[in-house]
Amino acid sequence: MDPMLNIAIRAARAAGDLIVRYVDRIDTLKIAPKGRNDFVSEVDRQAEHEIMHILRKAYPGHVFLGEESGRQGAAGDEYVWVVDPLDGTTNFLHGFPHFAVSIALMHRGVPEAGVIYDPMRQDLFTAKRGGGATLNSRRVRVTRQNSLTGALLGTGIPFKDQTHIDAYLGMLKALIRDTAGIRRAGSAALDLAYVAAGRLDGFWELGLQKWDIAAGVLLIKEAGGIVTDLGGGEGYMDSGNVLTASPRLHQCMLETIRPYLTEELRAQPA
């Protein structure tokens, strides 16, 4: 196995073990607000510290971008580790067992390796650029779904920043009309991993961060899926607006949401 991917797996498992130890002790945790409807716990911080310790020991010359600690390390951006130590913190704090650790390695701005680990189910999703995507060491592919009819989609409701809530609700209403259903499970990292593994046919969300999507984007691409922004462009890492599915379903989703895109949502990041 690629040594960088191997280190990421080790770090993700260590963080996952730490998170699970607190599942039955949530009422003892210190919790602080980060913003509107957004919270951080001491578990987030401890898990990120554990990840960073393992990554930094192996690659001291790399840059590290963590959700809780920000950007650290050497100047430049040849190698950047992008870390979300607990994606789905709100789920975790409510005892809702759907959250994950997400770690990605970017090489000159391109995802090179990615790991998403669900510590409750012990599901390990991994990807290496050019090497395919796996779930628990088994190769995975996106589904062959080619239309909205019968499709199962994932999404994330924009509850933090509701600037585009009307546009989003229009997309939701249009997409739900012909599908088998739409799921809002509360962890974008796992939603993206589920698309890669064929558990969801497609996914879209607005306003995500790099640490939410970097690993999942690589998983989906290596599993044969398409990832774009809401207008079909390549600006999703900067805008945080993501739409992904198998190639034919992706086109159907783009066409369905197009009437609801505002000029701001159509615009490419500078």
Query: What residues does each domain of the chain span?
Result: 3-139, 152-266
- Cβ neighbours for 71, distance < 8 A, ≥ 6 positions apart: 63, 64, 65
Confidence category of residue 268, pLDDT binned at 50, 70, 90: low
Topology (CATH) of 152-266: D-Maltodextrin-Binding Protein; domain 2 (3.40.190)
| SS3 of residue 244 by DSSP | strand
pLDDT of residue 270: 47
User: In the predicted model, what is the mean pLDDT of residues 86-115?
Assistant: 94
pLDDT at 173 over 80: yes
Q: Nearest-5° angle of CA 186, CA 189, CA 191?
A: 65
Residue 134 CB neighbour total at 10 angstroms: 19
- Residues 125-137, mean pLDDT to the nearest whole number: 97
pLDDT of residue 115: 98
pLDDT in tens, 70-82: 787 766 678 999 9
Query: Is 67 part of any known ligand binding site?
Result: yes
Q: Looking at per-residue confidence, does 74 or 231 come out higher? A: 231
Within this chain, domains 3-139 and 152-266 share the same CATH topology? no
Per-residue pLDDT reduced to its tens digit, 200-225: 999 999 999 999 999 999 999 999 99
212 assigned to a ligand binding site: yes
pLDDT at residue 159, rounded to an integer: 77
Share of the chain above pLDDT 90, in %: 76
Give the mean pLDDT of 168-188: 96
For 3, the 3-state DSSP assignment is: helix
Provide CATH code, domain 3-139: 3.30.540.10
Residues 6+ apart with CB under 8 A from 220: 133, 142, 192, 195, 196, 226, 227, 244
Flag whether 86 is marked binding: yes
Q: What pLDDT, on the 0 to 100 scale, is given for residue 220?
A: 98
